[in-house]
Amino acid sequence: MRRPFGQHFLFDPNILKKIISCSGITKDDTVVEIGPGLGTLTKFLALSAKKVIAIEIDKRLIEKLLEIFPAGGNVEIISADALKFPYETIEGKFRVVANIPYYITTPLLFRLLEFREKTQSMTLLMQKEVARRITAPHGSKDYGVLSIGAQLYTKPALKFSVSRKAFLPPPDVDSAVVHFEVCPEPRFQIKDDKFFSEVVKTAFSQRRKTIANSLKIFEGIKDALHASGIDPKLRPENLSIEDFARLADAIKRIR
């Protein structure tokens, strides 16, 4: 059974239990699940958490979920688009645990980070390639805009891989579970978030070039690199988030 919204069902109870275990949820937690599907993960979450808010976009699945989780229990089924849902309406803080459709992984991650003061952690099952990019350290080939964007406000850790054979229908790629500890404030000192993002995106738009060449559209880039103590011959993937933070601040001072 293939869902129109790109979800693949995961039924293996051992994998579901591992997801619960690495999420760190307790009986005191409110958990948001995105894309509960047929409720297999939801059942395990309901046993482990105080309350589960399950957000499902597929109206055909809502009826089945309401049969499995009738009103009065600790599972609330909500028919909504997770990318547009008003997370600020949830009472108190919450943790997110979900097997998310691959095509919304990145936009959903950054949507949830808009509510980082309420989001304590996220445990997400996603495409393995994306998981590697999110958790990549600087200096690796997977490190880039997504790595920096995720690591700016979270501490992501790739917990374990999941074979495509564990899903129905099986996707074309393997998956992985990533656990994010969410930080309300940036983990690094950045004076201007918007400008920092602009510098990072510009640098990685030409990642094969040296950092001096990839950022040459910025006036005074050579002076900024010198002031930041960064070798102009390095490539963008060689710069840490702290390096980019110093560099962005230096460029802005010189401009």
Domain ranges across the chain: 9-182, 193-254
The per-residue pLDDT for 170 is 81
Q: Which fold has domain 9-182?
A: Rossmann fold (3.40.50)
Residue owning tokens 């110093």: 246
pLDDT at 4: 45
Q: Where are the alpha helices (DSSP H) in the chain?
A: 13-23, 40-48, 59-68, 105-113, 128-135, 145-153, 193-204, 211-214, 221-228, 241-254
The CATH code for residues 193-254 is 1.10.8.100
Half-sphere exposure of 75 (CA within 13 A, CB side): 24
What's the whole-model pTM score? 0.92
Cα 210–211–216 angle (5° rounding)?
Answer: 100
Number of H helices, E strands in the chain: 10, 9
Looking up tokens 């501490």 gives 155
pLDDT computed for residue 2 by the predictor: 41
For residue 7, what pLDDT is reported? 65
CA distances from 187 to 69, 106, 116, 203 (A): 39, 20, 12, 21
CB 9 within 8 Å of CB 110? no
The alpha carbon torsion through 150, 151, 154, 159 (nearest 10 deg) reads 90
Whether the bond between 186 and the residue before it is cis, its omega within 30 degrees of 0, is no
Tens-of-pLDDT digits for all 255 residues of the chain?
A: 344 445 678 889 999 999 999 999 999 999 999 999 999 999 999 999 999 999 999 999 999 999 999 999 999 999 999 999 999 999 999 999 999 888 899 999 999 999 999 999 999 999 999 999 999 999 999 999 999 999 999 999 999 999 988 888 888 889 999 999 999 888 998 989 999 999 999 999 998 999 999 999 999 999 999 999 999 999 999 999 999 999 999 999 987
DSSP 3-state of 240 = coil
* pLDDT value at residue 1: 39
